[in-house]
C-alpha cells in the first residue's frame, strides 16, 4: 500500500520528446538577439514522451481526493458538486483575447454584465466588479473601496477595521494589506457579535466592520440590524464576507441586512471547482454610493446600448489585477445560476441547511457541542470527553481519512477548543450522511476502546502522517539532482 512515487524529473531520458510544432514556414534569420542576451545552455527541463506525461499525472491524480471521489465536508469551503455541463462552457471563449475592442468581444462583455445583474439580485447589492480572483482578493478590493470612500470624504482618521474573533484568517490579513489596523472583538456566549463589545469598539477611527453571516460557527447573526446601526451611526461601513452565502440564497440578502460591501466566492457558493487550491473568483458588490470606487474598467451599458468597458473612473481604487477577472470561472458560475434559477438556488440553500442540521443532530450525543441550536449550512463540534482519553481533533480527522472521507475543517474557528467544522452541502444524499455519521460514531467507539489506534491513523493511504516539523525546519522546496 505505502509507496513513493517518482518525480517527473526522475522519469527524464535524454533526447526523449513529447511535443511537436509545425515546421517553421518563414525564412530563419541569425543574430536577431545580441549574443550577450542569449542563453547558451539548455534549460534543465524533463525530457519525456507524451505517454510518460499521461501516466505520470494520471497516477498522481489517483493519489489525490476530490469531491468526485467522495464526501468532502470541509467547513467554510462549500465543497458542493461541480456540475459537468458548467465545465464545458468556458471552452466557447478559449481563443478570445482580453484586449479586443468591445465590438469584437460583445458576447463576453454581455455575459459579464448579465452576471453582475444576477449577483446583484441574489445579494441585494447595486453593482458588482468581477475583477478579484479569489475570496481574499475580494476582501482586499472591498476594503480598498471602503478606504477610498472615507478618503474622498476627507475622513482620513478612519484606519481601523473591526474583526470578530470568529472571523476567517484572511479578514485581518486583508485589512492589513489594505493599510488598516485591526481591532478584534469577542463573540458573545451564543457565538454572535457581542453588542456591548461592538459599541465599545466603534468610534471616529473605525472605517468598518467585517462580518461573516452566518458566522464561522454556522450560526445566523440575529442582531444583524442592530450591528449595522451601531457601525453606521459611528460612521463606519459594513463588509460582508460571502464565504457562507450558501446558507441563505433566496432566503435573505446581505444588501437588505445593511451591508455596504459584499464579496462572494464563486468557487464555493456557485459550484465552480476549487482546482486543488484555485483558480477561484471573488466578485465584489457595493451599494450605489460606492459604485464610483469600484476597480476599473467597469462593464456597463448606456441606455441598453452595447456593453462597454468604462476606463474613465476618476474615483476608482485602480486595478487589482490584469484584465477583468477569472473570466472562465465566472462563465461556469453563471451557467450554474442560470441552470438553477431563483427557485433552484433557494432549494440548494434549504437542503444545505437541512443536511447540516441532520448531521449535527446525530453527532450531538457523541461529540461535544459548543452551541446547541439550529445551525445554518455548517455545524461546529468538538472532541468532548474524547480529549481526556488523549484523542484530539487531528486524530479524528486522520481516522476519517482511513474511512474514505475528506476530514472537516479542523482547529477553526479559533474560539472553539479543538473545533471540527462540518459543512455537508446540499449535494449529499441522506445515505451518504448516514454513513458519515456511522463513521464518526465508530471513531468515537475506537477512541474509547483503543485510543492508540487513532494516533496511528491514517493507515489506508499511500503515505503516513508527514513530519511537518522537519519540513519547516529544513525546507526542501525543489528537487535537486
Q: Please, which of residues 67-126 interact with other proteins by CB under 8 A?
A: 67-69, 72, 74, 77, 79-83, 85, 87, 89-90, 92-101, 104-108, 110-111, 118, 121-122
Task: Tell me which of 63, 153, 417, 445 binds other proteins, using CB under 8 A.
Answer: 63
Burial class (CB in 10 A: 0-12, 13-18, 19+), 109: buried
- 354 sits in the region (left: phi over 0; alpha: psi -120 to 50; else beta) called alpha
Q: Is 422 in the site for other proteins (CB under 8 A)?
A: no
User: Interface with other proteins by CB under 8 A: which range of 57-65, 196-204, 379-387, 443-451?
Assistant: 57-65
- 185-214 residues near other proteins, rule: CB under 8 A: none
Q: How far is the CB of 388 from other proteins (least distance, A)?
A: 25
Rounded to an integer, what distance in angstroms lies between the CA atom of residue 12 and that of residue 60?
Answer: 17
Q: Which residue has the cell 481591532?
A: 183
β-bridge partners, 409: 421
* b/e 221-254 (16+ beta carbons within 10 angstroms → b): bebbeebbebbbebbbbbbbbbbbbbbbbbeebb
Task: Tell me which of 152, 429, 442, 445 binds other proteins, using CB under 8 A.
Answer: 429
Task: Tell me which of 152, 157, 301, 341 binds other proteins, using CB under 8 A.
Answer: 341
Pairing of strands 237-241, 206-212: parallel
Could you tell me the CA-to-CA distances from 47 to 44, 51, 237 in Å, in that order? 9, 12, 56
Q: Which residue has the cell 474615483?
A: 315
Task: Tell me which of 128, 142, 146, 147 binds other proteins, using CB under 8 A.
Answer: 147
Q: Is 235 in the site for other proteins (CB under 8 A)?
A: no
Q: How far is the CB of 385 from other proteins (least distance, A)?
A: 23
Nine-digit cell string for 30: 541569425
Q: How far is the CB of 74 from other proteins (least distance, A)?
A: 6
User: Interface with other proteins by CB under 8 A: which range of 172-180, 200-208, 284-292, 415-423?
Assistant: 172-180
Task: Tell me which of 324, 380, 386, 447 binds other proteins, using CB under 8 A.
Answer: 324
Rounded to an integer, what distance in angstroms lies between the CA atom of residue 392 and that of residue 379?
Answer: 18
CA 392 to chain centre: 26
Q: Is 175 in the site for other proteins (CB under 8 A)?
A: yes
Q: Report yes or no: 352 and 244 within 8 Å, Cβ to Cβ.
A: no
Task: Tell me which of 160, 231, 237, 257 binds other proteins, using CB under 8 A.
Answer: 257
User: Interface with other proteins by CB under 8 A: which range of 42-50, 194-202, 203-211, 380-388?
Assistant: 42-50
Nine-digit cell string for 164: 470578530
User: Interface with other proteins by CB under 8 A: which range of 201-209, 286-294, 342-350, 446-454?
Assistant: 342-350
Amino acid at each position: 500500500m505505502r509507496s513513493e512515487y517518482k518525480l517527473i524529473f526522475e522519469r527524464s531520458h535524454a533526447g526523449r520528446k513529447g511535443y511537436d510544432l509545425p515546421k517553421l514556414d518563414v525564412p530563419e534569420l541569425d543574430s536577431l538577439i545580441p549574443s550577450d542576451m542569449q542563453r547558451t545552455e539548455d534549460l534543465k527541463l524533463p525530457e519525456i514522451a507524451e505517454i510518460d506525461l499521461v501516466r505520470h499525472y494520471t497516477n498522481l491524480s489517483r493519489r489525490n481526493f476530490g469531491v468526485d471521489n467522495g464526501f468532502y465536508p470541509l467547513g467554510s469551503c462549500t465543497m458542493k458538486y461541480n456540475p459537468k455541463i458548467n465545465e464545458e462552457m468556458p471552452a466557447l471563449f478559449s481563443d478570445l483575447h482580453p484586449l479586443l475592442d468591445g465590438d469584437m468581444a460583445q458576447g463576453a462583455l454581455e455575459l459579464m454584465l448579465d452576471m453582475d445583474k444576477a449577483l446583484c439580485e441574489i445579494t441585494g447589492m447595486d453593482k458588482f466588479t468581477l475583477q478579484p480572483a479569489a475570496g481574499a482578493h475580494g476582501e482586499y478590493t472591498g476594503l480598498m473601496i471602503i478606504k477610498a470612500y472615507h478618503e474622498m470624504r476627507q475622513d482620513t482618521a478612519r484606519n481601523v477595521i473591526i474583526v470578530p474573533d470568529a472571523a476567517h484568517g484572511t479578514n485581518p490579513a486583508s485589512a492589513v494589506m489594505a493599510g488598516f489596523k485591526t481591532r478584534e472583538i469577542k463573540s458573545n456566549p451564543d457565538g454572535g457579535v457581542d453588542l456591548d463589545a461592538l459599541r465599545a469598539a466603534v468610534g471616529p477611527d473605525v472605517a468598518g466592520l467585517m462580518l461573516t453571516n452566518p458566522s464561522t460557527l454556522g450560526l445566523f447573526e440575529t442582531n444583524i440590524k442592530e450591528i449595522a446601526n451601531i457601525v453606521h451611526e459611528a460612521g463606519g461601513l459594513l463588509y460582508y464576507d460571502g464565504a457562507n452565502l450558501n446558507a441563505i440564497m433566496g432566503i435573505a440578502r446581505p444588501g437588505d441586512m445593511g451591508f455596504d460591501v459584499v464579496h462572494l466566492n464563486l468557487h464555493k457558493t456557485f459550484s465552480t471547482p476549487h482546482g486543488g487550491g484555485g483558480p477561484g473568483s471573488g466578485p465584489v458588490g457595493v451599494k450605489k454610493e460606492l459604485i464610483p470606487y469600484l476597480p476599473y474598467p467597469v462593464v456597463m451599458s448606456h441606455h441598453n446600448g452595447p456593453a462597454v468597458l468604462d476606463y474613465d473612473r476618476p474615483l476608482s481604487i485602480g486595478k487589482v489585477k490584469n484584465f477583468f477577472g477569472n473570466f472562465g470561472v465566472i462563465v461556469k458560475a453563471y451557467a450554474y445560476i442560470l441552470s438553477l434559477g431563483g427557485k433552484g438556488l433557494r432549494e440548494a440553500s434549504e437542503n444545505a441547511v437541512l443536511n447540516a442540521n441532520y448531521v449535527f443532530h446525530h453527532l450531538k450525543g457523541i461529540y461535544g457541542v459548543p452551541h446547541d441550536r439550529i445551525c445554518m449550512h455548517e455545524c461546529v463540534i468538538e472532541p468532548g470527553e474524547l480529549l481526556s482519553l488523549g484523542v484530539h481533533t487531528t486524530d479524528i480527522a486522520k481516522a476519517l481519512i482511513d474511512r474514505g472521507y475528506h476530514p472537516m475543517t479542523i482547529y477553526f474557528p479559533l474560539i472553539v477548543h479543538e473545533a471540527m467544522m462540518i459543512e455537508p452541502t446540499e449535494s449529499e444524499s441522506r445515505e451518504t450522511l448516514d454513513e458519515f455519521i456511522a463513521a464518526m460514531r465508530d471513531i468515537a467507539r475506537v477512541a474509547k476502546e483503543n485510543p492508540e489506534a487513532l494516533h496511528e491513523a491514517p493507515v489506508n493511504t499511500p503515505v503516513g502522517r508527514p513530519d511537518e516539523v522537519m519540513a519547516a525546519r529544513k525546507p526542501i522546496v525543489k528537487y535537486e539532482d
